[in-house]
Amino acid sequence: MSALKSVASGALRIIPFDGYELPYKSTESALMKAFTIINPGEVIRLYIDRNPHTVIIKLALKYGSKLIFQYLQNRDGGVIIDFKKVCM
């Protein structure tokens, strides 16, 4: 069995995004805005205390195949997700 390739491998840039201090709606809005300004090949690494299901769904609906995401950690109090913009 082969290991999964990291979404961030070969990324042009990894931009940390701390969602711990923001209210959920603010995190959602800021992440959506950040994803619109990054370039293809760049990664936003989200650090947050809860699983942002609705944000992931909204990003997937808006960007479709231009979005790849991968959970690096998923447990109560600490979720880390890489979101990568790809050009298609």
Confidence of residue 23 (pLDDT cuts 50, 70, 90): confident
Q: Phi, psi (5° rounding) for residue 38?
A: -80, 160
Q: Note the pLDDT tens digit of each residue in 32-76.
A: 899 999 999 999 999 999 888 888 999 999 999 999 999 999 988
What domains appear along the chain, each with residue ranges and CATH number?
13-85 (3.40.50.150)
> Which residues, in sequence order, are CB contacts of 37 under 8 Å at separation 6+?
none
Confidence of residue 2 (pLDDT cuts 50, 70, 90): very low
